[in-house]
Amino acid sequence: GAGVSQSPSNKVTEKGKDVELRCDPISGHTALYWYRQSLGQGLEFLIYFQGNSAPDKSGLPSDRFSAERTGGSVSTLTIQRTQQEDSAVYLCASSLVLGQGRYEQYFGPGTRLTVT
Amino acid sequence: SQKIEQNSEALNIQEGKTATLTCNYTNYSPAYLQWYRQDPGRGPVFLLLIRENEKEKRKERLKVTFDTTLKQSLFHITASQPADSATYLCALDGQDKIIFGKGTRLHILP
C-alpha cells in the first residue's frame, strides 16, 4: 500500500511569503504528526492530530504557523510571512492511533523549505 | 524538563564488528522506547519498539536493551555492514507524542 506522501518535495520562497505544505497519511491512520528538522538537528515536534482535532499546539514555533486536518486524512501546515529561520525539512508522520509511543510512526519523505 | 541524549554525533565502526549506540534520558520515565533509522534526504524508518517491562528485544541483527534504572537504552547492530551506515534516532513516548533524540551518525567502514 501507499506510504505517507508529502508535497511539494522542495519549496523555495521569498522571505515574507506564505507557504502551504501538504501531507497525505496512510489510509486508516487516525494520528498524524508534523515535525521540523534543521540541518544537523534532531526532529522538533510541531503538532499532532487525532482525527481532525489538534489537542496540543504548544510545539508550533510562533503564531505564523498553523495546521489543519480535514476528513481525518489530509493535513496542511501553513507558514505565514516566512522568515529565513523557517528553512528546514518539514516531516509528516502517521500512526494507526494516538498511543503514547506504543505505536510506530510512518514518516513521509519530507518537504525541504528554503526561505531566501 | 525531559531530556534525551544520544552518545555521540558520529560513530565509526569496522565492517563485521558490533556497533553499539547509546540513548540516555533524564527527568522522565517512558513506558516505551523506539529506535528509527534515517538515511540522507529521507524520513525516519521505524526499527524496534521496547516496553519498560522488557529488558531486551531482538530483530535479525538488531538488539535493543532498556534499563529503566540507568535510564538508558543500548542499540546494537551485530555483524555490521556498510549498508547499515545511517543516522539512528531513539525516541521516547511523551503524552501522545514522541520525543526524538538528535541521532547518532553511524559509519561502517569497509
The predicted model gives A12-33 an average pLDDT of 96
Q: Cβ of B98 and A91 within 8 Å?
A: no
pLDDT at residue B31, as a whole number: 83
Q: Cβ of A55 and B32 within 8 Å?
A: no
User: Which residue has better confidence, B31 or A21?
Assistant: A21
What CATH superfamily is the domain A5-96? Immunoglobulins (2.60.40.10)
Look at residue A101 and tell me whether its pLDDT is greater than 70: no
pLDDT at residue A64, as a whole number: 97
Q: Which residue has the cell 538528535?
A: B102
Domains and CATH numbers, chain B: 3-109 (2.60.40.10)
Look at residue A111 and tell me whether its pLDDT is greater than 70: yes
Check if B49 contacts A (Cβ < 8 Å). Answer: yes
The predicted model gives A12-27 an average pLDDT of 97
Share of chain A above pLDDT 70, in %: 96
The predicted model gives A85-108 an average pLDDT of 87
Look at residue A39 and tell me whether its pLDDT is greater than 90: no
Contact B42, B87 (CB under 8 A): no
pLDDT band for position B37 (cuts 50, 70, 90) = very high
Share of chain A above pLDDT 90, in %: 70
In chain B, which residues have their Cβ closer than 8 Å to the Cβ of A48? 96-97
Alpha-carbon span A3 to A88, nearest angstrom = 22
In chain A, which residues have their Cβ closer than 8 Å to the Cβ of B41? 109-110
Instruction: Report which secondary-structure segment, H or E, holds A37.
Output: strand A31-37
Check if A25 contacts B (Cβ < 8 Å). Answer: no
CA distances B44 to A4, A35, B22, Å, are: 12, 11, 18
Give the number of beta-carbon pairs within 8 Å between A and B: 69
Alpha-carbon span A102 to B2, nearest angstrom = 18
Look at residue A1 and tell me whether its pLDDT is greater than 60: no
pLDDT band for position B47 (cuts 50, 70, 90) = very high
